[in-house]
Amino acid sequence: MDNTVNFWKRMFAFIIDLLIINIVIIYPFRGVFIKYFSGISIAQSFSSNNIIVPTDAYWAIFIISILALLYFTFFDYYLGQTPGKMLLKIKVISTKDKDESINMWRALLRNCYVLPFFPFYIFWFVEPIYLAFYKERFLEKISSTKTVFEESDKYAGKNYAKEFKLDKV
Amino acid sequence: MKNSQDDKVNVNKKRIWTMVKILIVLLIFSAIIALFFNNSDATLTGYNTAIISVKGEITSESGGGLFSADTASSPDIINTIEKVKNDANIKAVIFEIDSPGGSAVASDEIAQEIKSLNEKNITTVAWVRETGASGAYWIASSTNHIVANRMSIVGSIGVIGSYLEWYGLMNKYNVTYQRLVSGEYKDAGTPYKPLSSAEEALMQEKLDKIHDYFIEAVAQNRNMSIDSVTKLANGEIYLGAEGKDNGLVDELGGKEEAITYIEHKLNTTVTTKEFSKDKTFIESITGVMSQNSYYVGQGIASGLVKDNGLKITT
């Protein structure tokens, strides 16, 4: 069975993860957004020079992005898959390590596109284009990781779960 | 067979439990940090004096992103002053000035906005650092009290509209300027042709008018006569100590002196808070350097001011 995961499965897994991030990470910050962005549509908030973002809100956005990065990194490292990937039955493996489970640095590198500041936001444009042409993300290539089907012949049954303990975070 | 199925169930349970633990940890971190933001206003009360920076060349264009050069943008500073006006805690404002001047229009805009603070009985103090000259002095003069270091540069009450004329160089390389205008003075000040005496006289008249406005503003703000300001308004720069002698500066010193003045005037202890331009959404997200245009001296007319031609600054 070809273990290359198609674009749409990856996209849906990502959307599920974004929904979870909304609940777990962004929802606690709703007070900040209500305070500074109430009455402003999403489209308006992206129009340059029109909407002023107070310093507090700027830092909140920054911290949310760091937590989102930790979300993807921890799940890829400890479980080899985020909840979204788990539901879509796909997972992440290392192409360099013998046991194919990814280390923390690889997990961090493959997910650094989440950060919304220079130079990381460049990947918002690079990744979809690279994925369209090469069926893998650019960051996956440089982090030597790969997204595969859980049940593909090569990876079926392999358990990449590491124990999650707070003192190891 | 049954054992391997049991193992699989146990592994899945372990995985789900790991997932839940990670989600709980992230939720707790988010909640704790968000709590800090939700209460952030509470931690910042107790201030009564705003500090607003006026640094760099004064321009009427909005300021740029993280990597743009420092300019004192009048829309940004006015926006900050509006924020201060709407903050009931603020009783005084210290303008920290370090600028060589710039756009006459932008300087006047900021000065007018400072006067609106005075009208609201908010005490304003200009604290001049290295330089508070020309347009920056125009701004400083609109405050209630000017504090400068004895070696600060103040004054330079004058207007400049000099520019490089490329006519000779063009001529050398057989480059010609095709003049197509309607309106005799439409291209006055263009660097591609010599300035005629009539044009020069016209420009000088406009410069003199702006100079008069500048003098009037300083005289009114500093409670000095037009004559006494005119004597000082030959474009000369003055050290802070000289400014103290000739009436352009109220007190020699620094931030401490500015604060002491406010404390005496308001009979209260001063607690300061810095106010600055808020980042736009795009600036916050991208931090991209934006283009800053340096418009100077729009007082004459935009039609007479070309990108490479005549520029008028205070």
pLDDT tens digits for A33-87?
766 655 445 444 444 444 455 666 778 888 999 999 999 999 999 999 999 999 9
Which domain does B167 fall in, by range? 46-304
CATH of the domain at B168: 3.90.226.10
Q: Where residue B280 falls among pLDDT bands split at 50, 70, 90?
A: low
- Greater confidence (B11 vs A71) lies with A71
pLDDT higher than threshold 60 for residue B288: no
Q: How many C-beta neighbours within 10 Å does residue A110 have?
A: 25
Q: Where residue B49 falls among pLDDT bands split at 50, 70, 90?
A: very high
Interface contact flag, A53 B30, Cβ < 8 Å: no
pLDDT higher than threshold 60 for residue A154: no
Three-state secondary-structure class, residue A149 = strand
Interface contact flag, B27 A28, Cβ < 8 Å: yes
Interface contact flag, B19 A169, Cβ < 8 Å: no
pLDDT in tens, B225-264: 999 999 999 999 999 999 999 999 999 999 999 999 999 9
pLDDT in tens, B243-253: 999 999 999 99
- The number of distinct structural domains making up chain B is 1
Give this complex's ipTM: 0.79
Q: Which of B11, B38, B278 sits opposite A53 (nearest CB)?
A: B278
B26 touches chain A (CB under 8 A): yes
pLDDT higher than threshold 70 for residue B79: yes
Contact call for residues B74 and B58 (beta carbons, < 8 A): yes
- Has residue B54 been placed in a domain? yes
Residue B59 backbone phi and psi in degrees, to 5: -135, 155
Query: B228 to each of A131, B92, B144, B234, B246, how far by Cα in Å?
Result: 73, 29, 19, 11, 9
- pLDDT at B306 (0 to 100): 45
Q: What is the H or E stretch that residue A105 is in? A: helix A104-110
Domain ranges of chain A: 7-148
- pLDDT at B56 (0 to 100): 92
Range scoring the smallest mean pLDDT among A12-16, A163-167, B134-138: A163-167
Three-state secondary-structure class, residue A10 = helix
- Has residue B292 been placed in a domain? yes
- Has residue B32 been placed in a domain? no
- Has residue B103 been placed in a domain? yes
B37 touches chain A (CB under 8 A): yes
**Pairing label, strands B237-239, B153-155:** antiparallel
> How far does the CA of residue B155 sit from the closest CA of chain A (Å)?
34
- Has residue B212 been placed in a domain? yes
pLDDT in tens, B99-119: 999 999 999 999 999 999 999
What is the full DSSP assignment across B226-274? HHHHHHH-SS-EEEHHHHHHHTS-SEE--HHHHHHHHHHHHTS---EEE
- pLDDT at B296 (0 to 100): 35
What is the full DSSP assignment across A63-103? HHHHHHHHHHHHHHHHTSS-HHHHHTTEEEEESSSTT-PPP
- B226: closest CA among B212, B243, B236? B212
Averaged pLDDT for residues B287-314:
44
Q: Which of A28, A78, A86 sits opposite B34 (nearest CB)?
A: A28
Averaged pLDDT for residues B122-127:
96
Q: Which of B21, B26, B37 sits opposite A60 (nearest CB)?
A: B37
Round to whole Å and give the CA distance between B217 and B220.
Answer: 5
pLDDT higher than threshold 50 for residue A15: yes
pLDDT higher than threshold 60 for residue B145: yes
B44 touches chain A (CB under 8 A): no
Q: Give the mutation candidate from A16, A40, A42, A55 for the B interface (greatest B CB count, under 10 A).
A: A55
Q: Where residue A169 falls among pLDDT bands split at 50, 70, 90?
A: very low
> Which pair of structure tokens corresponds to residue B278?
């808020």
A45 → chain B, closest CA residue: B281
> How far does the CA of residue B21 sit from the closest CA of chain A (Å)?
7
- Has residue B202 been placed in a domain? yes
- Has residue B85 been placed in a domain? yes
Give contacts of B273 with chain A, Cβ < 8 Å.
Answer: none
Give contacts of B38 with chain A, Cβ < 8 Å.
Answer: 31-32
Q: What is the H or E stretch that residue B71 is in? A: strand B71-73
Interface contact flag, B38 A32, Cβ < 8 Å: yes
Round to whole Å and give the CA distance between A95 and A115.
Answer: 24
> How far does the CA of residue A136 sit from the closest CA of chain B (Å)?
25
Place of tokens 């016209």: B202
- Has residue B19 been placed in a domain? no
What is the full DSSP assignment across B200-239? HHHHHHHHHHHHHHHHHHHHHHHT--HHHHHHH-SS-EEE
> How far does the CA of residue A155 sit from the closest CA of chain B (Å)?
15
pLDDT higher than threshold 90 for residue A3: no
Number of residues that this document lists for chain A = 169
Round to whole Å and give the CA distance between A80 and A91.
Answer: 6
Contact call for residues A136 and A148 (beta carbons, < 8 A): no
Give contacts of A117 with chain B, Cβ < 8 Å.
Answer: 285-287
- pLDDT at B238 (0 to 100): 95
pLDDT in tens, A94-150: 988 777 788 999 999 999 999 988 888 889 999 989 988 888 999 999 999 999 988
Which residues on adjacent β-strands are paired with residue B53?
Answer: B96
pLDDT higher than threshold 50 for residue B43: no
Q: Which of B19, B21, B33 sits opposite A83 (nearest CB)?
A: B19
